[in-house]
Amino acid sequence: MAKSIWMSMTLVVLSVSLGHGATGSAISGTVKGPDGAPYMGSFVRARNQKTKMTVSVLSDRQGRYRMENLPSGDYEIQVKAVGHKADPRFGIKLAEGQTTTFDFALQKTMVRWNDLSNFEGTQLLPEGEGREEYIGTCFACHAFQTRLAGTRRDEQGIIRSVDYMAEEFKHFFGNRLTEERKAKIKNYMIKTFALDSDLPRSPADLPKYKELKRPEFTDASMKLVVVDYETAGPSRFPGTGRPDKNGNIWMWNYHSNNLSMLNKETGMVREWKVPNQGPANIHAVVPAADGSVWLTESSQANKLARFDPRTETFEEYQDSLDGDPAKGRKHTAEIDLQGNVWSTGRPLTKFDPRTKKFTHFDEVPQVYGVGVDKEGTVWFAEFTENGKIGKVDVKTNKVTKYTPPSPDPRPRRLKIDSKGMIWFGEYRAGKIGRFDPKTETFKEFQLPGPSPTPYGLGIDKNDHIWYTSMEMDIVGRLDPATGEVTQYPMPYSEVGTRDLFPDASGEKMWYGTQPNDRVGYFMIASDK
């Protein structure tokens, strides 16, 4: 990572305030490389053993790191830097008000396949029949780092895994996953990932590895602080974390049919199983003003569900097109000013909780992002070829669409800032788009990197636009006033974040990392 950092001359000292019943406890120290020089860009990660909260900060140009206002308790500390390792520290007891110092000396080690970003993986995985089918099909939900690169299976194990995924998500694949395509995927995976595969032990052994263009990280990039929590179990696949008015964090778990809630003070995660029989594939969770929580069931169930935390009960509402539930699909969701629940997918849909009726908007047959402005207008983004941005007048149900300047931008998530500007990620064009409803004009901001692929989107208290890159495995921040984009590394490979939501302060941006089964937030540390 250090080799990819563009060096500037700014000295950074970080003050990290986590807001977890702060006690003034701190951990600090330095990180040095194998040559004894200060090492910039390594993640130092401190895990609280009771709350399962992990705080990650980056070492600066002088190799220094510091975490402040940590809760007291027992900790373990590890350092993460691609191609390097350091001895972890276990059994650290941090008392209230205590400052503890630990220095780390990195040693060179092998670069592993599960260290790669999604972009690096797509560039370095070997050519061969089935490669296109494998990446085009399996990478729609996850890549290879967490589920294949770290654990080799025998031939039969790979065949069973592909058959299981094809059956479990047949509603998602539809007619695309033919038997011929599935056979090609199996053969490619066996050749590449099976126990006796010919995949090089390290991707760094490939000449192309050194030629890859990577994100440019600056001194400003080293100011990112990441705090994450473990979920209640494996394969929860949390797409995001969304705070409610009480500060609890709600998660949708795509694989487990569970709705989850994190108490960030204790680290405790509670789960409730949805009533739907078979895979519900929950794809959105929205806390409502009355304390209830709405969620979408994106499988063939084609349902909305309302959860009442007081009674811990669900109500499910079945939707259908032409009497067939399987024809429609629920995806993301938002609640408008009248309490109606809008869901994307196929097609754009409004649900009135008072009448229990669905209204379908046939003019928007396939849609992804949705948002509600201060006037109550509902905005949407069509994640389709040459997809458009549009709005619905909630009084008349009139639909109006607008065409972004870039050809085939594939607009994905959509958010609205404090000034009423509509922001959306152009997944295929590699840009952040802005639409001004007053002038009905667009402005686009090109994102850096060879494959920016903006997916998750969030807006902080300063109206800075945050995004996650699905291919580059980074988060980025756009300053609309200057057009400057700052890229930040994340402490995982294969981040897989689907959306971002700020907390009440607008300083902390909550996210989920699906392949890593964690939910958390990131923020910028203040200068001191």
Number of domains into which the chain is organized: 3
Span 344-356, pLDDT tens digits: 999 999 999 999 9
460 within domain boundaries = yes
Question: How many CA atoms lie less than 13 Å away from 78 in the CB half-sphere?
Answer: 8
Phi, psi angle pair for 158, to nearest 5°: -70, -45
Residues 6+ apart with CB under 8 A from 61: 7, 10, 11, 12, 38, 40, 219, 222
Note whether 205 and 239 are same-domain residues: no
Please give the pLDDT value at position 152: 78
Please give the pLDDT value at position 528: 52
Among 35-39, 44-48, 372-376, 492-496, the range scoring the smallest mean pLDDT is 492-496
Span 266-318, pLDDT tens digits: 999 999 999 998 889 899 999 999 999 999 998 778 999 999 999 999 999 99
Span 47-70, pLDDT tens digits: 999 999 999 999 999 999 999 989
Please give the pLDDT value at position 527: 61
pLDDT over threshold 70, residue 18:
no
Please give the pLDDT value at position 149: 87
Question: What does each C-alpha distance from 274 to 107, 271, 301, 308 come to in angstroms?
Answer: 47, 10, 12, 12
Which helix (H) or strand (E) segment holds residue 513: the answer is strand 509-513
214 within domain boundaries = no
Note whether 178 and 228 are same-domain residues: no
Please give the pLDDT value at position 278: 86
Domain final residue pick, 89, 109, 129: 109
Instruction: Give residue for tokens 């890159």.
Output: 469
Among 100-104, 250-254, 453-457, the range scoring the smallest mean pLDDT is 250-254
> To the nearest whole number, what is the mean pLDDT of the chain?
92
Domain final residue pick, 85, 109, 133: 109
Per-residue pLDDT band at 387 (split at 50, 70, 90): very high
Percentage of residues in the chain having pLDDT higher than 90: 83
Please give the pLDDT value at position 23: 56
pLDDT over threshold 80, residue 118:
yes
Note whether 132 and 151 are same-domain residues: yes
User: What's the domain range around 87?
Assistant: 2-109
Q: Is the peptide bond before 347 cis (omega within 30 degrees of 0)?
A: yes
Q: How far apart are CA 460 and CA 17, in angstroms?
A: 17
pLDDT over threshold 60, residue 16:
no
Note whether 394 and 257 are same-domain residues: yes
Note whether 162 and 75 are same-domain residues: no
Among 74-78, 277-281, 372-376, 466-470, the range scoring the smallest mean pLDDT is 277-281
| pTM (2 d.p.) | 0.93
Q: What is the CATH number of the domain that holds 317?
A: 2.130.10.10
pLDDT over threshold 50, residue 463:
yes
Note whether 198 and 323 are same-domain residues: no
pLDDT over threshold 60, residue 17:
no
Adjacent-strand bridge partners of 66: 28
Span 510-525, pLDDT tens digits: 999 999 999 999 999 9
Q: How many residues does the chain have?
A: 528
Per-residue pLDDT band at 319 (split at 50, 70, 90): very high
